[in-house]
Amino acid sequence: MKLSSTETYWPLKNAIKQSYPSLDSDINTDILIIGGGITGALIAYKLLNEGKKIVLVDRRDVCGGSTSGSTALLQYEIDVPLHQLIKLRGARCAIDSYQNGKKAIFDLRNIIDTVGSDCGFEFKKSILFTTLKKDVPYLKNEFKTRKQHGFEISWLSRFELQKMGLNAIAGIESKTAAVMDPFKFATDLLFHCHEKGMQIFDRTNIVSIQHQKGNIIATTDSKRVITADHIIHCTGYESTETIKEKVVDLKSTYVIASESQTDLPENFKNAIFWDTASPYHYFRTTEDNRIIMGGGDEDFKDTNKRDKLLPKKEQYLLKQFFKRFPDLDFKIDYSWAGTFGETKDGLPYFGKPNPRKNEHYILGFGGNGITFSVIGMNSILDSLNNKKNTDLDYYRFGR
């Protein structure tokens, strides 16, 4: 699957830190990780620190799939609001999922500091706002629910939002959110793992997986064989190729990035913004003073139809931007289309679809893919060891 189109911003911003070979011989390992994006890097980092022997492969260059197109808004808020998630999954799962997301942002910062990645991580405020009168009761309900369960938030009036340059009716400000350069972080983390002894092979496509006498045999399209005790799929939206259960609805999404600007207001730079529209729009800045905006999602049909819509979506997103931030400038420097997915409850999928097979998945679907991957990182050992784990239960297959 072609996960993004045209030149996304992050790979152009960053030179390739390390080139990895394709696999040219048969090998054995404890654990094979399929997928060399941010999820695979996080899982590798966790297991390497546990002393595991790991091989990681990717069918593209590492970080060449969804990671290169991610806009990396790091929020504890999930695409499904807390008051609705409680109805869908119960209070314990819903509240814990929001708290898990909050903890994941700080866990991620600790990893960044440990490996010394200069990926532009910055803490921000998160502002969920509405431009629609009909959505104000919805927003008030969400505010009341989060307050009731101890989340640090504030209500923002039209006047307070206007002081930020935002043309909106009401909003909720959360204290904990962040942004970063996801491509730089993922490539730095993979380089760190490689330096610690993990083998990485890119442009290595696994075409078949067989289970034989307690071993798993993964065969590449060049007929090379990797024998492993466990396989962990960190394949994101391409997991639809290997999982029989329908766990995600694929969407096409669109992003524009502005030219660098010297005079962005501090109130705008210090927050990330997203609205109550369906599908929603979101806004953030980068460390080099660009604005990134995304949205305009549609049901995914195929990559050609998705990509042909990009010029039209550029104009749509610009129009939506100026409706909300009429006093800011936005000249498009980059634009791209990507594929992402939504689950029925907005939550990820972790663990084993088939309990009898040592094939594990860490799938951080939705707008919280990176924080979900951090949560999955903290669950993977129990999945490997067949131990009970609350998150593995919350985010199980077949739920």
pLDDT digits (tens, 9 = 90+) for 135-169: 999 999 999 999 999 999 999 999 999 999 999 99
Residues in the chain: 399
260 and 274 in a single domain? The answer is yes
188 and 324 in a single domain? The answer is no
Domain of 227, CATH number, reads: 3.50.50.60
282 and 337 in a single domain? The answer is yes
Residue 232's nearest CA partner among 380, 104, 85 is: 380
72-127 pLDDT, tens digit per residue, is 999 999 999 999 999 999 999 999 999 999 999 999 999 999 999 999 999 999 99
320 and 333 in a single domain? The answer is yes
Identify whether 86 is part of a domain.
no
The domain total for the chain is 2
Identify whether 77 is part of a domain.
no
- The CB density around residue 315, as the number of other CB atoms within 10 Å, is 11
Identify whether 83 is part of a domain.
no
Identify whether 274 is part of a domain.
yes
pLDDT above 80 (res 2): no
Q: Which helix (H) or strand (E) holds 391?
A: helix 390-394
209 and 335 in a single domain? The answer is no
207 and 253 in a single domain? The answer is no
Identify whether 75 is part of a domain.
no
What is the DSSP secondary structure assignment for residue 236, as one 8-state letter? G
Provide the mean pLDDT of the chain: 94
pLDDT above 60 (res 5): no
203 and 233 in a single domain? The answer is yes
> Which residues have a Cβ under 8 Å from the Cβ of 73 and sit 6 or more positions away?
126, 177, 179, 272, 274, 282, 284, 367
350-399 pLDDT, tens digit per residue, is 999 999 999 999 999 988 999 999 999 999 999 999 999 999 999 999 99
Q: Residue 39: what pLDDT? A: 97
Rounded to whole angstroms, how far apart are CA atoms 153 and 218? 48
Q: Residue 289: what pLDDT? A: 95
Of 342, 360, 379, the last residue of a domain is 342
333 and 296 in a single domain? The answer is yes
Q: Residue 13: what pLDDT? A: 64
Of 320, 342, 364, the last residue of a domain is 342
192 and 325 in a single domain? The answer is no
Assess contact for 301 and 319: CB atoms under 8 A: no
Q: Which one has a higher pLDDT value, 191 or 68?
A: 191
Q: Residue 214: what pLDDT? A: 86
Identify whether 354 is part of a domain.
yes
Mean pLDDT of 321-347: 94
287-333 pLDDT, tens digit per residue, is 999 999 999 999 998 889 999 999 999 999 999 999 999 999 999 99
Q: Residue 9: what pLDDT? A: 65
200 and 266 in a single domain? The answer is no
Mean pLDDT of 53-75: 93
For residue 338, give both structure tokens: 């990507």
227 and 189 in a single domain? The answer is yes
pLDDT above 60 (res 1): no
Q: pLDDT confidence of 69, banded at 50, 70, 90?
A: confident
Mean pLDDT of 235-248: 93
198 and 310 in a single domain? The answer is no
311: domain range? 249-342
Of 323, 342, 361, the last residue of a domain is 342
Identify whether 141 is part of a domain.
no
Q: Residue 305: what pLDDT? A: 92
Q: pLDDT confidence of 15, banded at 50, 70, 90?
A: low
Identify whether 356 is part of a domain.
yes
